[in-house]
Structure 1
Amino acid sequence: MMLKYELKKIFSKRINQAVIVGTFLIAVIIALLAVGSVSYVDENGDGHTGGLSARYLAEDQNRWKGELTSEQIGQIVKKVKDLSAKYPEEIPDNEYGKTVQSYEPITDFVIGILTPDTEWDNSVLYQLSEEQAADIYTLYQENMGKMAEEYGTTPEKKELIENVYETVETPLDYEAAVSWETMLMYTQTYIIILAVVIGFLSISIFSGEFRSGTEGVFLAAKYGRTKAVKNKVLTGILMTTLIYWVGMGILDLIAFGVMGTSGFFTSYQISEPYCIYSMTYGEYHLLMLLMGYIASLFSASLTMLVIVKTRSLAVAAAVPFVLFCMFPFIGRMASGFTTFFDFMPSVFSNIIEYVKSPLIFQIGGFAFRQLPFVILLYSALFIVMLPFAYRCYRCYGLRKNLNP
């Protein structure tokens, strides 16, 4: 009953209701923006955006669905060279829609293999011989070894990178991942919004009694310092879980319902060949959802702790905004503290870039990647802060009352 009452207190407030409805409406808007951002060119050269464009684009690119062999890559490279010779100035839109569009993600993959640690350069495709194209995966493996040498500055770091690269099975299985790639940026944006909103909603869990000055009465009740406080902490967890997964559910249901789910099992190495996280596009999306949930739980627990310690609504409301919205900008300006900001909550605001970055850290003889460590770190902080907030609120006023 106490838990139900605490939840009712949150969801019955007009301002909270407006914030929650607004947050879910934002999910709808972001999903529609994602759908509308995909463009497709048909065989006549006519461009289309939004609607079912993502499905048409995926269907076109799935001409190459299946095992992406070196022979197929050789065929595509030959097509690229032939079209370049036929249209030295610019490829017509109808030719783009008929051929180029279908294999564009694969040519990007090849360019990525050929430019492991240099600027993106389309010209490398035209310099690639048929023999080199037929041996592309051997070159890929060799470049993985070079990347391990470059970024594995210690034996432990090198071994970690090599172990990750060994899990990349070649030749890769390919299926168009239009919807998953499109949703990366939009999912990350909504993660930040949810973390800030959930932090704001968490303020009312403990602030009600402080605002009305009835905290003494609340804590003096029979179960005021035990069950009642525990229920407030549990309310924070339940509210966070409900708001986060309903919001993300709305976003994903609309976006993937329209764009389709082709490419869930496609290796993310198609986009980033030397990524030190060996995973599929679907697993990458699940990783983002997990990190977003942890960010929201951390935001809620930190906000509850701050409101208990400071009793200031303004300070508590500012904390999640500063951590998730301001810290990324501060981190870019404070270039001398790069390592420090690599473990700050700003990581949750820039998951896309951190997945691409070969960041390996080491403590003693133990080497580790950034994102798994961040997940463990903020999960631990969330778990630690909840009982700390419980203890602080439970003991509120006792020390003051004991002093004459």
Structure 2
Amino acid sequence: MVRFEIKKIFSRAGGKLALLLLFIILVIVSVFAVRYVDYTDENGNNTYGFQAVRLLRERKSEWSGYLTEDVFAAVIKENAAIEATPEAKSKDFHENNKAYAKKQGFSDIRDIINSSLSSFREYNYYLIDGANVDDSKYVYQRRISTLQEWLNSDEAKDRYSASQKEFFLEKYQELDTPLYYEDADGWKALLEYSQTIIMLTMLILSFLVCGIFSGEYQLNADAVFFSTAEGRRKGIRAKILAGLVMITIVYWGMVIIYSLVVLGILGTSGWNCPIQTSLYGWKSLYNITFFEDYLFTIIGGYIGNLAILFAEMLLSVITRSAVISITFPFVILFLPSFVGGIDRLSEFLGLFPDQLLQIGVAVRLFNTYEIGSKVFGALPILFISYPIIVCLMIPIIYQIYRKSEIR
């Protein structure tokens, strides 16, 4: 029966079109992810593809290891030497590119130094150009002190409670330093575009699951379905299981193929490096590696897909309408972008299921919640609450559909 329900979905023209769209999405997003890495040669020309990945990795591997004070000092000196060259001082963009080519090997470390020299809410790419060797002593300390300064500023002093501020500082202080660094461009590219794959997969799946239950009403087949011997029992269970199986196979198929393509081309080096060795992860509360970030991203994406799509199925059971139910995923995805600027709603929106579809963004946010005397980040709450919600929705769907009256 489960196979029959799945066959019904994909035998329609809409089901076949959905598979085609998923394939197109996979190809396009994979191409963008692979082109995330580019290399500038000594003549100032940019290249992409396998050659670019190999050359850039060779340059960055020279700086692999623990980012100690001596490493930061060496980067500041090297950067100053390059800035003194005629290419760097030229007003010609192509000449500037030649100077940039010499900095590619330590570009990630350059970003870290710039981040430490910038105020907490800002980033200035050129601050390292005015830095001196003494600044290398305070890179890690400034990560904590700039956070502390911001928490005490007018912008943030009333935004968080004393417990939350203490929680932020504790998380920052728990980071093991010096950080271990390797080229992790493959993981950065993978994570950068993973939320695109996850969100688009969910939207395509929403067109497929909306008709699992409401389709019987649309085809006026509900009288036949509910009058059969096992229609209100095994038939409903088959529909629920068909939705679960389809979501699982399509989601993991997309994620696994995408991951294999990107990591197969860009490489897996740097998997064990802290995300704080990257520009986007420097300020994160979560002391995790790129590989752990990836696991959180794909598992969170799966839970988020299940939560949103099962909620859509529940809505289709209640309203008996595929049109109404299919609007739910779009509302969940786009509502936060319209009301996200309202500070009073930020905590509420931080627990929306769309956050599970974009863990790469969530790990950079300071969404925390106080439960009693304890403070928790948003991620543990999301990963615990939504599997429970999904498990609760399944029997609710079953009971409501089972008690449906024939009209």
- The normalised TM-score by structure 1 is 0.89
- The alignment partner of 2:312 has SS state of helix
Q: Which residue of 1 aligns with 2:71?
A: 72
Partner of residue 112 from structure 2, selected from 104, 109, 114: 109
Alpha-carbon contact 1:116-1:274 (below 8 Å) kept: no
Counterpart CA distance in 2 for 1:197 and 1:378 is 21
Pick closer, same or farther for the CA change 1:332–1:156 going to 2, 3 Å: closer
Q: CA deviation at 1:166?
A: 4.0
1:15-26 alignment, distance < 5 Å: 15-26=14-25
Q: Which amino acid aligns with 1:374?
A: L
Counterpart CA distance in 2 for 1:136 and 1:291 is 32
Counterpart CA distance in 2 for 1:8 and 1:377 is 32
Partner of residue 316 from structure 2, selected from 307, 318, 333: 307
After superposition, give the CA deviation of every residue in 1:288-319 in whole Å (9 maximum; x if it has no partner): 11121112111221121111111112112222
Q: Which amino acid aligns with 2:286?
A: Y
After superposition, give the CA deviation of every residue in 1:113-164 in whole Å (9 maximum; x if it has no partner): 2225142124432443323314533444555665677779445324433442
Structure 1 position 89 matched with structure 2 position 93: no
Unaligned runs of 5+ in 1: none
1:284-299 alignment, distance < 5 Å: 284-299=293-308
Alpha-carbon contact 2:164-2:368 (below 8 Å) kept: yes
Q: Which amino acid aligns with 2:63?
A: W
Counterpart CA distance in 1 for 2:42 and 2:364 is 34
Alpha-carbon contact 2:37-2:53 (below 8 Å) kept: yes
Alpha-carbon contact 1:37-1:50 (below 8 Å) kept: no
Q: Percent identity, aligned pairs only?
A: 28
Q: Which residue of 2 aligns with 1:60?
A: 59
Alpha-carbon contact 2:144-2:173 (below 8 Å) kept: no
Counterpart CA distance in 1 for 2:308 and 2:121 is 38
Structure 1 position 375 matched with structure 2 position 383: yes
Partner of residue 355 from structure 2, selected from 342, 347, 360: 347
* Larger relative contact order (CA 8 Å, sep ≥ 6): 1
Counterpart CA distance in 1 for 2:337 and 2:99 is 43
Pick closer, same or farther for the CA change 1:231–1:397 going to 2, 3 Å: same
Pick closer, same or farther for the CA change 1:292–1:92 going to 2, 3 Å: same
- The alignment partner of 2:178 has SS state of coil
Partner of residue 179 from structure 1, selected from 175, 186, 194: 186
Q: Which amino acid aligns with 1:281?
A: F
Q: Which residue of 1 aligns with 2:48?
A: 49
Pick closer, same or farther for the CA change 1:158–1:334 going to 2, 3 Å: closer
- The alignment partner of 2:47 has SS state of strand
Counterpart CA distance in 2 for 1:304 and 1:24 is 24
Alpha-carbon contact 2:209-2:309 (below 8 Å) kept: yes
Pick closer, same or farther for the CA change 1:135–1:209 going to 2, 3 Å: closer
Q: CA deviation at 1:71?
A: 0.6
Q: CA deviation at 1:356?
A: 1.7
Alpha-carbon contact 2:306-2:390 (below 8 Å) kept: yes
Pick closer, same or farther for the CA change 1:52–1:290 going to 2, 3 Å: farther
Alpha-carbon contact 2:33-2:189 (below 8 Å) kept: yes
- The normalised TM-score by structure 2 is 0.88
Q: Which amino acid aligns with 1:227?
A: K
Structure 1 position 220 matched with structure 2 position 227: yes
Q: CA deviation at 1:51?
A: 4.3
Pick closer, same or farther for the CA change 1:168–1:144 going to 2, 3 Å: farther
Counterpart CA distance in 1 for 2:148 and 2:345 is 30
Q: CA deviation at 1:241?
A: 0.3
How many corresponding residue pairs? 396
1:131-150 alignment, distance < 5 Å: 131-140=134-143, 142-143=145-146
